């Protein structure tokens, strides 16, 4: 069967222009329906703009924070020290005030969604330029961040799987093989997420690959949107959002933020955080969290009615079998797509052997897929959510501003000095503080990379200040990076899957926040047991057991 005829089958092109729930093209990102906001969301949207303006004015021009006034240049980080000397103490202090004001105003706009997230990013980028916090070259250059290019190329690869029909073939095979009951479907997605997380260093790319698959399965089980949502739709989207993120936390290669954290910690200790170090520490914990999420979703938050446990599409499983048979035998285009994709995964998994970055590998794969005659996809068929990428550019620019002003370290040092914590502070207090701040900061930050750039250096600095091993505090803090599944602005996958309109903010918060708290508790218990066994934390520091 040709690719064109295969697309016609997928599009239900039989003379009737009806909606085909099994057509993956209906779940392209730009075709997702516009969500209807709840009354609470509408209220937040109205309050967001005036509140963000008020906060910006207060912190930029009215409120004088003492810890920004008495800065010792010798205690600043290298970049901040250089900036301090270049522009002078007074200008540096004002830049810190601007940075704090822009940061807080941006957080308010992202949380209230008063304007689209990408517009908030554009505003904060130009604000950092106009206030002089960042030079134009550095502010605008964040759009060319390697992780940005990795995401773009990964979307090309994901679109390749959809356009050739590989993704639909897999989805139909998947449901026929494991769709005997709803429970096995959810458990199977745990396995798929873990496998993809081992190879793909971009959670957004995983979300783009999995979105059309689980949306087709959701359609088969009769999901509805908006006011008519059902628990199958809530559960399959929110469980996948959870698993996409914490699956990445099982591997150091699971995301660019993990790799950045490992590089920062390795640089601080003069060594390396190896793939196996992270794997042994976090794989069992993350698998446990996925299973806990499955149980809580199915039994507590989104229990399925008897009707929701059975396929709702007309014809049931026989209809699916017919659709699968219509695809015919696997063709050359599909084989080429599978070869390219598997090759990319293999190169990503063996980067320590050949030394080629994940971004460079994705570049080559996307180029091959787009080549005329040889390739298998045209540029107009590529599904790239540019609004999410602009959103990311704003996050990286904000991180660059925080780095150059050294505002996080200045704030932390002021915090410790003012609350009177001495140099003999017990390890467990610092452990609880750093891991807790890292995990719950995901509620207000919109970028894992930015949180990594802020809190991992802080953890390293705290360990050095109090005389503890850098690994013992910084690595468990890094293990909390991937818990970004509560609110839509917390990560790109969260923003993407929220557009499916299968769940509300309340659904996401009650499920996600519960898992976030459980994750922190597991990290604390592991610090006294599993991490101690692996030599990450010192013996007997918590006194729990």
Q: Is position 545 within any domain?
A: no
Q: In this structure, what token pair is assigned to residue 337?
A: 């797509």
Q: Are residues 107 and 23 in the same domain?
A: no
Q: Which among 346, 381, 416 is the end of a domain?
A: 381
Number of domains comprising the chain: 2
Q: What domain range is 198 assigned to?
A: 3-31+146-381
Q: Is position 540 within any domain?
A: no
pLDDT band at 52, cuts 50/70/90?
very high
pLDDT value of position 286: 93
pLDDT at 519 over 80: yes
Measured between alpha carbons, how far is 39 from 118 in angstroms, rounded to an integer? 23
Nearest to 235 by CA among 513, 503, 509: 503
CA quadruple 462, 465, 466, 468: dihedral sign: positive
Q: Could you tell me what percent of the chain has a pLDDT over 70? A: 76
Residue that the structure tokens 């026989």 belong to: 318
pLDDT at 15 over 50: no
Is residue 137 helix, strand or coil?
Answer: helix
State the distance between the two ends of the chain, measured CA to CA, in whole angstroms: 64
Q: Are residues 159 and 27 in the same domain?
A: yes
Q: Are residues 427 and 313 in the same domain?
A: no
Q: Are residues 291 and 158 in the same domain?
A: yes
Q: Are residues 95 and 129 in the same domain?
A: yes
Q: Which among 366, 381, 396 is the end of a domain?
A: 381
H or E stretch at 471: helix 470-478
Q: In this structure, what token pair is assigned to residue 432?
A: 């609880």
At 128-154, the pLDDT tens digits run: 999 988 889 888 887 887 767 877 887
Q: Which among 328, 354, 381 is the end of a domain?
A: 381
Lowest mean per-residue pLDDT among 183-192, 236-245, 329-338, 350-359: 350-359
At 157-181, the pLDDT tens digits run: 777 877 787 766 776 777 677 766 7
The mean pLDDT value for 115-137 works out to: 89
At 39-49, the pLDDT tens digits run: 776 787 888 89
Residue that the structure tokens 């190169």 belong to: 347
pLDDT at 119 over 80: yes
Nearest to 405 by CA among 147, 123, 126, 132: 132
Measured between alpha carbons, how far is 204 from 2 in angstroms, rounded to an integer? 30
pLDDT value of position 67: 66
- Counts of helices then strands in the chain (DSSP H, E): 26, 0
The mean predicted confidence, pLDDT, of the chain is 78
């Amino acid at each position: 069967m040709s690719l064109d005829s295969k697309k016609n089958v997928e599009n239900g092109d039989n003379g009737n222009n009806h909606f085909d729930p099994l057509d993956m093209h209906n779940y392209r990102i730009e075709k997702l329906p516009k969500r209807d906001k709840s009354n609470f969301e509408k209220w937040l949207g109205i309050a967001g703009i005036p509140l963000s303006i008020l906060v910006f004015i207060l912190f930029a021009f009215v409120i004088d924070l003492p810890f920004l006034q008495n800065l010792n240049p010798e205690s600043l980080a290298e970049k901040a020290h250089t900036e301090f000397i270049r522009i002078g103490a007074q200008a540096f202090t004002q830049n810190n005030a601007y940075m704090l004001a822009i940061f807080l105003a941006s957080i308010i706009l992202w949380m209230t969604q008063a304007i689209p997230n990408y517009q908030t990013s554009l505003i904060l980028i130009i604000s950092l330029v106009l206030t002089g916090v960042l030079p134009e070259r550095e502010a605008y250059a964040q759009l060319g961040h390697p992780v940005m290019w990795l995401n773009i190329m990964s979307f090309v690869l994901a679109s390749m799987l959809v356009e050739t029909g590989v993704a639909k073939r897999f989805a139909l095979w998947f449901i026929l093989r494991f769709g005997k009951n709803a429970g096995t479907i959810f458990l199977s997605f745990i396995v798929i997420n873990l496998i993809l997380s081992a190879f793909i260093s971009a959670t957004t790319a995983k979300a783009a690959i999995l979105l059309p698959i689980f949306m087709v399965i959701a359609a088969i089980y009769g999901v509805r949107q908006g006011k008519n949502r059902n628990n199958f739709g809530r559960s399959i989207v929110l469980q996948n959002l959870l698993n996409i993120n914490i699956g990445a936390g099982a591997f150091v290669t699971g995301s660019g933020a993990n790799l950045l954290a490992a590089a920062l910690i390795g640089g601080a200790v003069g060594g390396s955080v190896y793939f196996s170090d992270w794997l042994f520490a976090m794989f069992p914990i993350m698998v446990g969290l996925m299973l806990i999420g499955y149980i809580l979703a199915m039994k507590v938050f989104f229990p399925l009615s008897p009707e929701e446990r059975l396929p709702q599409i007309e014809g049931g499983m026989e209809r699916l079998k017919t659709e699968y048979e219509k695809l015919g035998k696997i063709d050359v285009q599909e084989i080429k797509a599978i070869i390219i994709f598997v090759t990319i995964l293999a190169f990503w998994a063996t980067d320590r052997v050949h030394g080629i970055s994940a971004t460079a590998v994705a570049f080559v794969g996307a180029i091959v897929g787009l080549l005329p005659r040889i390739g298998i996809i045209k540029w107009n068929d590529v599904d790239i959510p540019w609004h999410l990428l602009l959103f990311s550019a704003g996050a990286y620019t904000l991180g660059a501003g925080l780095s150059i002003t050294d505002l996080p370290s200045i704030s932390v040092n002021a915090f410790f000095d003012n609350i009177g914590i001495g140099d003999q502070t017990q390890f467990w207090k610092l452990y609880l503080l750093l891991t807790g701040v890292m995990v719950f900061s995901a509620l207000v930050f919109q970028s894992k990379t930015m949180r990594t750039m802020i809190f991992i250096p802080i953890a390293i600095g705290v360990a050095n200040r109090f005389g503890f091993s850098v690994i013992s505090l910084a690595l468990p803090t890094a293990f909390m990076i991937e818990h970004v599944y509560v609110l839509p602005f917390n990560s790109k996958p969260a923003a993407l899957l929220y557009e499916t309109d299968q769940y509300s903010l309340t659904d996401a918060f009650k499920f996600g926040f519960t898992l976030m708290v459980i994750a922190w508790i597991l990290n604390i218990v592991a610090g006294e047991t599993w991490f101690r066994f692996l030599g990450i934390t010192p013996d007997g520091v918590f006194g729990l057991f």
